């Protein structure tokens, strides 16, 4: 095991309204699963962490 420990975790939850068409649900699911979308989320979180000097030594990982 690496010489690291989990300090904290954040979970992002996407809610969609009930009653939408299957097409809308499928489109939302595809957007969330899209590699480009996930890459952009990962970059955004890393960029935010770099703005705080105390977090420069930490590793940020997006799972899922």
Give the up-direction half-sphere exposure of residue 28: CA atoms within 13 A in the CB hemisphere.
Answer: 11
- pLDDT for 19-41, tens place per residue? 999 999 999 999 999 999 999 99
63: confidence class by pLDDT, cuts 50, 70, 90: confident
Query: How much of the chain, in percent, has pLDDT values that exceed 90?
Result: 67
What is the rounded average pLDDT of the residues 9-23? 93
Please, what is the average pLDDT of the chain? 91
pTM of this structure: 0.74
Distance CA 2, CA 20 (A): 45
Domain positions in the chain: 22-55
DSSP string across 1-64 = --S--------------TT--HHHHHHHHHHHH-HHHHHHHHHHHHHHHHTSGGGTT-------
Neighbours of 18 (CB within 10 A): 5
């Amino acid at each position: 095991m690496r010489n690291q420990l989990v300090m904290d975790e954040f979970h992002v939850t996407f809610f969609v309204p009930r009653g939408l068409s299957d097409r809308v649900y499928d489109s939302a699911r595809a957007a969330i699963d899209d590699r480009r979308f996930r890459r952009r989320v990962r970059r955004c979180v890393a960029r935010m962490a770099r703005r705080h000097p105390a977090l420069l030594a930490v590793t940020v990982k997006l799972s899922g």
